[in-house]
A and B are shown apart, each in its own frame.
Chain A
Amino acid sequence: MAGTYIRTLEVWKEYRIGKVVVPALKGVSIEIEEGEFVAIEGPSGSGKSTLLYLMGGLDKPSKGNIYVGDLEISSLSNSQLLSWRRRNVGFIFQFFHLLPVLTALENVMLSAELAGIPSSERRERALELLEFVGLGDKLDRFPSELSGGEQQRVAIARALAGDPKVILADEPTANLDYANKVRIVELLKRANELGKTVVFATHDHTLARYCDRVINIRDGVVDGGI
């Protein structure tokens, strides 16, 4: 391991629902090493997705600090976060969220384009990544023409397209059968072996064996780990 890469210090996140303020995270402090493969495990509503989104700069904490590398992302403006996210983070979502009007190849190329990869290299990189996830024969399929497992593999390729240092996956296996679950986690592991820091949220503890470390979270509080 090459030292701490992601660090959260006493991070709180509160949401206002009507007149009620609901805390999703209550002073979470964790550290993730560079190149580590970490699962954040907890039941639904425990705050694991919220923590993941905060680490990816999709949202800002109500209190506390978040560092990624040498940068305190919790102090960045929305536009700075947008720009930072483009080059440093690859997201994978529970519901895949591929853009329905773009083909598998184009979904991956869009991410490469946003990351600033030169146009001459984008297609090659997208092809490479779709081969990597085993979809080299379904490049021109629209998401509606792919199975759930295939869509999530395209999402992994998309997350890797910008060559980010961190891959954040929110329940990437929740909507898949067991065989596809394993396949997705193995792909994430392979991405990790390529040097990516991979953090994924899950409520399925059977996947823990694939990870370097598991951080348990309950009711917005870190509840130990292995």
Chain B
Amino acid sequence: MGVFKGALRQVVRKKVETVSIILLIFIVILSYGSLVILAENMSDHAYRQFRAVIGDVAIFGVFPNDFIPLVKDFDDISVVKTYKVWFGDLDVNGSKYSISLTDDRYVEPLTVFDLNGSMPNEEGEAVFYYALTGVEPGGELLLDIGDEAVVYVVTPDGEERSIPIKIVGTARGFAHLGGMSQSIIVTRDVIDDIVGDRWIVVGVYVEPGSVDLDELADRLEALVDEEGYLHFFTLVNKKETNPVVVLLESASTILTIPISIVIGLIPLLVASAGSTTVIREVKIIATLKAIGSPNTWIFRYYSLPWIVRGGIGTALGVLAAPYSAEYIYVNFIVRDSEIADILISTLGFNVSNEVILSITTLVMGAVVIGALIPYAIAVSVRIVSAISSTGLYSIRTPVKLSVGGSFTRLVIRELFTRPWKLVGIFLSIVILWGAVTALNMEANGLNGIIDTYRYDLDFDVNIFVSTTSRVSIEGLSRQISEEISSIDGIRDYFMIDREIFIDMFGLVEVGQVIAGLQGDPTIAFPLDRGRYPDRLGEAVISRSLSILKNVDIGDSIEVSIDGAIYTLEIVGISISRLNNGFYLLVTPEQLSIMADIDEELGSRGVVIYLDVESDVEEVSEKVKMVLEENPLLSVDYTTKDEIIDNIMFMMNFILGLNAGIIFSLLLASLISLSSIYSVDSEAKSKELAIVKALGVPNIYSAFGGVIQLAILIPFAAPPSLLMGMIIADLISRSGATAIGYVEPMKPISSLLSPNMIIVFLVVMGIVLIVNYVKTRRLDVIRVIQEI
């Protein structure tokens, strides 16, 4: 007990050390911990919402009623849920939109769902539903209560229908019903009339942890095959592979990686300030040792107080982080307070013990490592030389660096005589500089993407032509090609078969395989090197994927689709960034082999990249009008300028987050540096008093700290650049799943961006102020007269 009492007394007495380390740890945990807790809750919410609707394994296809008892016969399945969902085109005043069509049975298990108006009761009534994550919040609704529209569908039996609807309610939620961001909820009669006495989704639930879900999915698929039912795809809902969860976790690393580096400041500050305290109290330590104090006493006075401070900072941070995480979630992620309320009241906002334990272990581990340095220095103090010294005591003989005048030498040698101060300052600079440089490299990379769109891709607009009917892609592309050739103002075009997804990183949602159908591929997929594929087994790979998978022309790459492995030889590298840059361009024949296209459910179609001679909007509208004359085709288009605007929006969003990260880093570095200088000023108060007595102005002494920083900055540049490159690569690779691979651009100029110069000026300004205040407040006579 006495040991802690002594340590607590130190904590209370030495306010600068106490406040600075508590503040640093608090900021680190608040920023890092908030993001970790946020990511964990987002992942948990996403997973649980998925599970609420589709269960642990869901198979999508067309299943008669007879199939359900067979599934229920599985011993390990506890609950079976069945849904009817179909796909169609919504016609709103002549414009068509791909939607899913379902009824209240699908909506019922949604955990987060907010309805205005009422659910449909009579045939013809409908609710317009949109997924929050699929549309911009605050935008105008496609349909509102009272609106009328028509939905075109082709039934599983190939029959075309047009269904007039009147909107009686609007709803929003987190789930994508049937995988679509916009849905029409109709009465059971209407959907029954479309799909008949058959189910489209069968979701099964098992006791958590009791069954291997992949193995269960295989057994279900085998049953479907055995019975000869139409099967679209199977979704195994495991938290670690849930695509939304993985995307969220990837996105969160963009923030957590640079922030986590700040944790490195904790041991530095503790070691630096702690060892400075030891130097200041070297005679007390020598006296303690002389009277026979055990090393535990030294530990009590020079290490334990840091651990106590670290504990206080950690406790405060851990208490505050969940509130901060919840605030960010409600106001910046969900951005809809009603939905956020439902979300949190339904699913909670929890902090797991594992997260708290891991943050506490990480931070306290850093504190303990730092606290052992002053202990080691204190234990090594030589009793006789420390006690018998009457002048100003230097633990080690100074390094004889003879640069500049006497004052400059004083400043330089003083820096190199206090190794932990030197290390503390140097690494604080490197951590701050390296992280900011990494963020600059990422920003450069984002600019590079915009430049690619602006200057390397010739297309002006891409047009998505989709249909829910089963069509021959070959026939569709031929038809579109004929229609396009009849429209004036189109210079050139390239048409691709709309994607099939491949398992590229263990994630089906990430990689796409596309095939060129018609036109000039250089319009949308210009090559960096190599050639386009002209036979089976060949592929052009995107530059992003080639970097991430470390493959080049001549290499082979394996991709998996529904468990089947295909080997493709890389014959070219394309610089385009379709689907965040995760794609392979193959021949149509190769694509047909890799996927059974005709059995694909939902939106199917092609994408046309147009190189337009004149007004882009006018030509795009004309293409849309001509193609939509076919009632089964839905056409949507995005101009290159809109794509660039979207990237700019994302870039500004990321840069905004970066600014927040830089601010946190700056704050943490400032706390670290100012407390190192502040504690150091006290440790060398006698030197300061003497130079003051000799007539050195306070501002000169204060500038000493700035000179030290200025000396260290050039030496910090190489490690900062290296650190920046490593962090930028790490962010790019771990964030790739979420936002695509942003290839960091790493010119040396990334080191000296305007934001970094401002950061340096702020750091120097604060150090100058801290040193000036300390020197000015120094009681020269009291300090000089102290033995």
Residues of A within 8 A of B (CB): 49-50, 53, 58-59, 79, 82-83, 85-87, 91, 93-103, 106, 109-111, 113-115, 119, 142-145, 148, 151, 158, 175
Q: Is the CB of A101 within 8 A of B785?
A: no
B787 located at the interface, meaning its Cβ lies under 8 Å from any Cβ of chain A in the complex: yes
Q: Is the CB of B410 within 8 A of A98?
A: no
Binds A, one of B149-157, B390-398, B550-558, B628-636: B390-398
Q: CA separation between A24 and B204, bound complex, in Å?
A: 90
The one of B391, B407, B695, B785 that contacts A82, using a Cβ cutoff of 8 Å: B695
Given A59-B781, A93-B784, A110-B410, answer yes or no on A98-B391 (Cβ-Cβ < 8 Å).
yes
Q: Is the CB of B406 within 8 A of A109?
A: yes
Q: CA separation between A59 and B692, bound complex, in Å?
A: 12
Given A85-B695, A91-B693, answer yes or no on A101-B410 (Cβ-Cβ < 8 Å).
yes
A87 proximity list for chain B (CB < 8 A): 695
Q: Is the CB of A113 within 8 A of B697?
A: no
Chain A: which residue is nearest B786 at the CB level? A95
Given A143-B392, A145-B397, answer yes or no on A95-B787 (Cβ-Cβ < 8 Å).
yes
Interface string of B389-415 (1 = CB under 8 A from A): 111111001101000011101100110
The one of B390, B410, B414, B785 that contacts A49, using a Cβ cutoff of 8 Å: B785
B560 proximity list for chain A (CB < 8 A): none
Report the contact-size class of chain B (Cβ under 8 Å from the partner). Answer: 20 to 34
Q: Is the CB of B693 within 8 A of A85?
A: yes
Q: Is the CB of A101 within 8 A of B414?
A: yes
Q: Is the CB of B696 within 8 A of A114?
A: yes
Q: Is the CB of B787 within 8 A of A142?
A: no
Give the dominant DSSP class at A's interface: helix
Chain A: which residue is nearest B417 at the CB level? A101
29 residue pairs bridging A and B, Cβ less than 8 Å apart:
A49-B781, A53-B781, A58-B780, A58-B781, A59-B781, A79-B697, A85-B694, A87-B695, A93-B693, A95-B784, A96-B390, A96-B391, A100-B392, A100-B393, A100-B687, A101-B394, A101-B410, A101-B413, A106-B406, A106-B410, A109-B406, A113-B405, A113-B406, A114-B695, A115-B695, A142-B394, A144-B397, A145-B397, A158-B694
Q: Is the CB of B413 within 8 A of A97?
A: no
The one of B398, B692, B780, B781 that contacts A101, using a Cβ cutoff of 8 Å: B398
Q: CA separation between A113 and B695, bound complex, in Å?
A: 10
The one of A91, A109, A144 that contacts B394, using a Cβ cutoff of 8 Å: A144
Residues of B within 8 A of A (CB): 389-394, 397-398, 400, 405-407, 409-410, 413-414, 417, 686-687, 689-697, 780-781, 784-785, 787
Q: Is the CB of B392 within 8 A of A113?
A: no
Q: Is the CB of A82 within 8 A of B697?
A: yes
B691 proximity list for chain A (CB < 8 A): 99, 110
Count chain B CB atoms within 10 A of each CB in A79, A97, A115 and give the residue with the most: A97
Q: CA separation between A100 and B418, bound complex, in Å?
A: 12
B704 to chain A, nearest CB (A): 12
Q: CA separation between A109 and B402, bound complex, in Å?
A: 13
Q: CA separation between A144 and B390, bound complex, in Å?
A: 10
Q: Is the CB of A86 within 8 A of B694?
A: yes
Q: CA separation between A69 and B551, bound complex, in Å?
A: 86
Q: CA separation between A145 and B391, bound complex, in Å?
A: 12
Enumerate the 3 nearest inter-chain pairs by beta-carbon distance, A residue then B residue, closest first.
A86-B695, A101-B413, A110-B406
B527 to chain A, nearest CB (A): 62
A203 to chain B, nearest CB (A): 14
